[in-house]
Amino acid sequence: MAEQEQRRRAGEWTGDRLERSAAHKTKKRGRDQFGRFRGLLRIAEAALKPVPRPLLQWMWVLSDWLPDLPGVAMRYVLLRRMAKRCGDNVLIGRSVELRYPERLVIGSNVSIHKQCYIDAYGGLIIEDEVSIAHQSSVVSFQHTWNDPSLPIRDNPVMGSAIRIGRDVWIGCGVRILAGVEIGARAVVAAGAVVNKPVAAGTLAAGVPARAVKSIGVGTPSAPEGA
């Protein structure tokens, strides 16, 4: 009897999990909201065309004061206006600092969560379906120290492009340094420092980041115009 009761409870638990999983799959995602309001977003984007870049940057800072959905919508429209190229359904969280957006190419269905630092000085391509968790940094330049007559902070900086492939997941607190390429469908574990290329279909972790295991290879696909 005890064994039958255990099986019955296990069946109920499994059924409950399957129901919740099905509900999660049918739940509307943020990209559905983008599709619903795409027309309004395009009108807002057109209205911003005559606005000078310094004012757009101020509007970016002020967008943090807006509630969730209006703030996301405003940052998306501003990014479409400022970036070299920006796809559809791009979510930018609060307090994301974006430097040199005119050198940024970003695909569709991308999310960059709150308190990230994104610097495209040396060039930055983020392909489709990429997720960057909170408090991560992507820095496409490095300081030089060749002139001893100047403090290191005053020596010239050297840009080096970064490319993040399709369907990449960047964990929270990751640091991606200049000149790095991360292959398609790779995962970078939380807290990693990426200073060398990460192969497609790889889980990378650690300081500095190293390949931990293979998780399967995706198919690279650059955003149009990259």
Tens of pLDDT along 11-60?
554 555 555 555 444 455 555 666 666 777 777 778 788 889 899 999 99
Q: What span, in angstroms and rounded, lies between the C-alpha atoms of 118 and 40?
A: 27
Please compute the mean of the pLDDT values over residues 105-109 and round it to a whole number: 96
From the list 127, 120, 132, 131, the residue with the least C-alpha distance to 161 is 120
* Whether residue 52 has a cis bond before it, omega within 30° of 0: no
* pLDDT on residue 46: 80
Instruction: Return phi, psi of residue 221, to 5°.
Output: -155, 105
Please compute the mean of the pLDDT values over residues 74-82 and round it to a whole number: 93
pLDDT exceeds 60 at position 96: yes
186 close to 199: Cβ distance less than 8 angstroms = yes
136 close to 115: Cβ distance less than 8 angstroms = no
* pLDDT on residue 43: 78
159 close to 121: Cβ distance less than 8 angstroms = yes
| Cα distances (angstroms) measured from residue 220 to each of 72, 129, 145 | 27, 11, 36
Return the structure tokens found at 77: 């429209």
Q: What is the pLDDT of residues 165-211, one digit of tens each?
A: 999 999 999 999 999 999 999 999 999 999 999 999 999 999 999 99
103 close to 83: Cβ distance less than 8 angstroms = no
pLDDT exceeds 90 at position 224: no
Cα Rg of the chain (Å, integer): 21
Name the band, by pLDDT with cuts 50, 70 and 90, for residue 217: low
pTM of the model: 0.79
pLDDT exceeds 90 at position 118: yes
- The per-residue pLDDT of the chain, averaged, comes to 85
